[in-house]
Amino acid sequence: MNRIPLSTFLPEASRIVAGCMGLGGDWDNSPVSKDHRMQAHQFLDSALHSGINFFDHADIYTRGKAEQVFGEVLVQRPGLREKIYLQGKCGIRFAEGQVPNRYDFSRDWIVHSVENSLARLHTDYLDLLLLHRPDPLMAPEEVAEAFYQLHKAGKVNHFGVSNMNGHQIQYLQSFLHQPIVVNQLQMSLTHLDWLDEGVLVNQGQAVSFTPGTVEYCRSHNIQLQAWGCLSNGLFCGKDVQGESDAIRATADLVSGFSQALGVSREAIVLAWLMRHPAGIQPVIGTTNARRIKACAEVERIKLNREQWYQLYVSARGRMLP
């Protein structure tokens, strides 16, 4: 596969990112079990054997247990940390008493969150730290202070954001010493606003995606990462009888391409994203060894323009203007 924008900063980073949200058990305060530890070992083995060396975490995943169990694996495998890339996220806080779930980009919370993540992961540094969701109360000067402090201390090498539009990134970047190198967005065959925004120009139709975000990231060498990229398995064998006509038709189309090209349906779904010239980096959320291997088959193919448009138009459920 071609180099991606992130190769400028992490030259050996894999095209696919393994998402770690499924590690550590349930989203409660129950302890990490022997089975959870075994799952983490198998997950890491499956990813590494499939050529994936990039792992995506967040401080909130299974309330910190995803980081904890991953860190326990690292302790048991000396030398592995230097062979992989770890990406963390912070900024979402759970409800406490009368205080609801909220976002927090304050300097103190960013630093506190990173230090806790490092402790759970049993590592001295993160290769990347992303701000998880935009905080309406963000003071960019405080974010700049936190990033500077973490970078100077060697605790974070690079920085990025998640779920931000181009205007928000541009504004935040104007306060930072370090470049924003990643923007992680929901992008998939079932979440098409990032594409429709561009093709519906001058059509009198609105979509829920801020114009120019993809273009801003491309022109500033910001890696677009796609979360939710497998659409919860809708096109990879899940029963879709109760779904819309567009979903059923697209599932059939994916299956047909899978058979014709001799790869998994997961590979077809990811190949559609990776065919885009922005060099999108999918973040796969599965911890299943078979599905991780199936996703890695994308390295063997590249969809042509006709195949790409067939999938796009089918998923839209209506013709292009």
Amino acid identity of residue 318, one-letter, is: R
CA 129 vs CA 65, 201, 278, 305: distances in Å: 18, 34, 21, 34
Q: Which of 2-6, 20-24, 65-69, 92-96 has the lowest mean pLDDT?
A: 2-6
Domain boundaries in the chain? Answer: 5-241+279-300
- Tokens 């980096």, located at residue: 281
- How far apart CA 18 and CA 55 sit, in angstroms, is 5
**Cα–Cα dist 205/212, whole Å:** 16
**Cβ atoms within 10 Å, residue 21:** 18
Per-residue pLDDT of 235-253, as tens digits, reads 999 999 999 999 999 999 9
Higher pLDDT, 2 or 10: 10
Which residues in 177-275 belong to E strands, given as ranges?
180-186, 223-227
Question: Would you state the pLDDT for residue 206?
Answer: 80
Instruction: Select from 193, 192, 186 the least CA-distant residue to 207.
Output: 193
Query: Cβ(109)–Cβ(90) under 8 Å?
Result: yes
Amino acid at 160: G
Question: What pLDDT was estimated at residue 2?
Answer: 53
* Whole-number average pLDDT of the chain: 97
Is it the case that residue 204 has pLDDT exceeding 90?
no
Locate 138 and state its tokens. 């963000």
Closest to 9 in 3D by CA, of 157, 131, 126:
157
Selecting among 61, 103, 216, 312, the annotated active-site residue is 61
* CA angle (56, 17, 261) in 5-degree steps: 155
Instruction: Give the span between the Cα atoms of 318 and 301, in whole angstroms.
Output: 27
The answer to whether 61 is a known catalytic residue is yes
Residue appearing with tokens 């370090």 = 178
* Adjacent-strand bridge partners of 55: 18, 86
Residue 134 has pLDDT above 50, yes or no: yes
Buried b (16+ CB within 10 A) or exposed e, 132-164: bebbeebeeebbbbbbeebbeeebbbbbbbbbb
Where does 5-241+279-300 sit in CATH, by number?
Answer: 3.20.20.100
Looking at residues 135-156, what average pLDDT do you find? 98
- Look at 3 and 25; give whichever has higher pLDDT: 25
d(CA 127, CA 108) in angstroms, rounded, equals: 20
Instruction: Please name which of 114, 74, 87 lies closest in space to residue 6, comparing C-alpha atoms.
Output: 87
Q: What are the pLDDT digits (tens) for 24-74?
A: 999 999 999 999 999 999 999 999 999 999 999 999 999 999 999 999 999
Average pLDDT over residues 138-159: 98
Predicted confidence band of residue 117 (pLDDT cuts 50, 70, 90): very high
Q: Which of 25, 44, 47 is nearest to 34 (CA)?
A: 25
Q: What is the DSSP string of 297-319?
A: GGGG----HHHHHHHHHHHHTS-
- pLDDT at 1 (0 to 100): 46
Q: Above 50 in pLDDT, residue 170?
A: yes
Q: Is 278 a residue whose pLDDT tops 70?
A: yes
Bridge partners, 129 (sequence order): 88, 159
Predicted local distance difference test score (pLDDT) of residue 205: 83
When pLDDT is averaged across residues 140-151 and rounded to a whole number, the result is 98
